[in-house]
Amino acid sequence: MRNSFFEIFRIDALGKRIFVRILFVLLIALNLYFIFFPIGDTNFDVYMAWMNKIIESGDYSSITSLDSIPLTKGNYIFLGISLLVGYIDIMASWLYTGVFIRTYRLRKQPDKAISIGKLIFRFIFLSLISAIVLSIFSVFVLYLFLFFIIIFPYLIMFPACYLSGDRSLVGSFRGMFEVTKGYYLTNSRNLSLLLFVYFIFDIVLELLANISIATRAAMVPFVNVFLLLALGRYVGIIYIRMLQLPGGFRIIVNPDMSELENMMKKDNDVPTPDEE
């Protein structure tokens, strides 16, 4: 199996490839439809003028409630639909992770593979619970942004723990910390690299906007969906590796050579479900 950061970008390499291709097309179609046929009011000129005036004056006392913010009902609908589309994209990334782990185990560890019915049930349940939790705690994200950044390498393992069928919903909270032990820096590094790739794409798209704004708008969903599915693939790969080599890199004093060779062999065994 291939052991490379670039392996996570092979999002099409999953089983018979039908599932991921359908998922990719549906997500692209959903995002493009919302971009070119938006629902609600996309005109935020009044709000921007009001916000610029407040920033220039430094007087924030006029912001007393949501009613004091000059947004129309159509603006709120547009923002709500935008959040919904983004949420669906994230959930699709989680679903990719679950399917990736199941596909790998069907080939390597059939007795540990979660059933498709159980996977679907857990995915739907997790999506509903996540929507409720996010709606409640999203207001605190800005205040706890630094804390969120710090624990993100742990958080990405939660859907893998749950959708793999290895743990219960509550047990997955503890599990995401247990399996990440010894892999925190690895996760942080690879997530930073993935974020760097996103910024590179973003720069290219901004340059493309100078040529054609419509083309740039059409390309944004492709980049976002592709990278989110790449993230889902990474989580699946690293989760299986974490279970194969718990604790990450270990220094062995006077090791038994046969044990060391087995560990090195397993360390190079990066899961790729499509591999024959």
Mean pLDDT value across residues 84-113: 94
Task: Give the pLDDT confidence of 53-88 residue by residue, as tens digits.
Answer: 888 877 766 666 667 788 889 999 999 999 999 999
Task: Give the pLDDT confidence of 18-36 residue by residue, as tens digits.
Answer: 999 999 999 999 999 999 9
Task: Give the pLDDT confidence of 264-275 residue by residue, as tens digits.
Answer: 344 444 555 554
Residue linked to tokens 């006029």: 62
For the chain, the domains span 5-267
Task: Give the pLDDT confidence of 146-194 residue by residue, as tens digits.
Answer: 788 889 999 999 999 999 999 999 999 999 999 999 999 999 999 999 9
Mean pLDDT value across residues 225-246: 94
What's the pTM? 0.84
How many percent of the chain have pLDDT more than 70?
Answer: 84
